[in-house]
Amino acid sequence: MKPFAYHQPGQIPEAAKLLISVEDAKILAGGMTLLPTLKQRLANPPALIDLSKLGNLKGITDEGATITIGAMTPHAVVAASKLVQTKLPALAALASMIGDPAVRNRGTIGGSVANNDPAADYPAGVLGLGATVITSTREITADKFFRGLFETALEPNEIITAIRFPLPLKAGYAKFKAPASRYALVGVFVAKFADGVRVAVTGAGPGVFRVPPMEAALSQNFDPSAIAAIKIDTDGLTSDIHAEADYRAHLVTVMAKRAVDAALT
């Protein structure tokens, strides 16, 4: 690990100013991805901007028709929250499946969403629920936020401050995890709203994506049988040492059915 400058700002504007004033500086939230990357010398930023002193970025707020979660809120807090368990249990279940206890207690929702790892769990929940990513300068809908492999709509000076989730009528999440990393080999989040159904997939491709044929079928009949015969095109899906594209395509349908089952339970 090469030397770097370390900053711990006390206010969001200060953090944003540092982010654009130091070229290639990196934000440190939970550090579950960044720190191993530094140790392996896969990244050598000149400075780290630690957000841990920004206490106003932590916490979960009930806003009636929505729930807002601060960007620095750890996964374990989301999983254990009585509010989330009651109003949005599928998101609490998703948070409980992330990594191991060490990762869940240090990793943050904002860090996960900003990193946009193609096998991370939270992007499926954010996109599946049609959430809104709130930053230091604006609000971005989930459909416009995720852009591909580790790529998002965030500008160089933007910091995620919170994520606002609408409350669905029903929702469920299911994933087939890689045994060692516990990342999603394939994970599917399904959410039913009054105006239709959203289905978001993580782990199967270079980024989280929706499945319109499943959304249309489940909007007509919210039951696992409605999507049992839907085949996922392997074009663009990931093939690696863990699974080939055709296996991942098969898993999308299997996990989607399980997610619907979970939503109906």
Residue that the structure tokens 């620095």 belong to: 72
For position 43, what pLDDT does the model report?
Answer: 84
For Cα atoms 62, 257, 205, give the angle at the middle one, nearest 5 degrees.
85
Domain boundary among the residues 147, 166, 185 is at 166
What pLDDT sits at residue 42? 82
pLDDT of residue 2: 76
The residue type of 97 is M
Same domain membership, residue 106 and residue 46: yes
Give the domain range for residue 120.
5-166
pLDDT for the residue numbered 50: 94
User: CATH number for the domain including 114?
Assistant: 3.30.465.10
* 89-96 vs 245-264: helix crossing angle, rounded to 10: 130
The reply to whether 177 and 108 lie within a common domain is no
How many other C-beta atoms can be found within 10 angstroms of the C-beta atom of residue 209? 21
Q: What is the domain count for the chain?
A: 2
Is there a single domain that holds both residue 160 and residue 183?
no
Q: Which H helix or E strand runs over 43?
A: none
Q: What CATH number did the domain enclosing 251 receive? A: 3.30.390.50
**Residues 30/111, Cβ–Cβ less than 8 Å:** yes
Instruction: For residues 174 and 156, state if they share a domain.
Output: no
Phi, psi torsion values for 66, nearest 5 degrees: -140, 165
Burial class (CB in 10 A: 0-12, 13-18, 19+), 210: middle
Q: Are residues 15 and 137 in the same domain?
A: yes
pLDDT for res 41: 83
pLDDT of residue 210: 98
C-alpha to C-alpha distance for 105 and 77, rounded to whole angstroms: 8
Looking at residue 168, its amino acid is P
- The number of residues making up the chain comes to 265
> pTM to 2 decimals?
0.95
- From 166, 185, 212, give the residue that closes a domain: 166
Together in a domain, 133 and 210: no
Query: Does residue 232 sit in the same domain as residue 136?
Result: no
User: Which secondary-structure segment (H or E) carries 175?
Assistant: strand 170-177
Apex CA 97: angle with CA 92 and CA 101, to 5°? 100
Boundary-marking domain end, from 144, 166, 188: 166
Closest CA to 53 of 4, 14, 99: 14
Residues 197, 139 share a domain? no
C-alpha distance from residue 83 to each of 55, 68, 113, 196 (Å)? 20, 11, 21, 24
Residue 34 confidence (pLDDT): 87
Q: Nearest CA to 59 among 67, 50, 49?
A: 67
Structure confidence at residue 236 (pLDDT): 95
Residue 84 shares a structural domain with residue 193: no
CB atoms inside a 10 Å sphere around CB 245: 18
The Cβ-side half-sphere exposure at 9, using a 13 Å CA radius, reads 19
pLDDT of residue 39: 84
pLDDT beneath 70, residues of the chain:
1
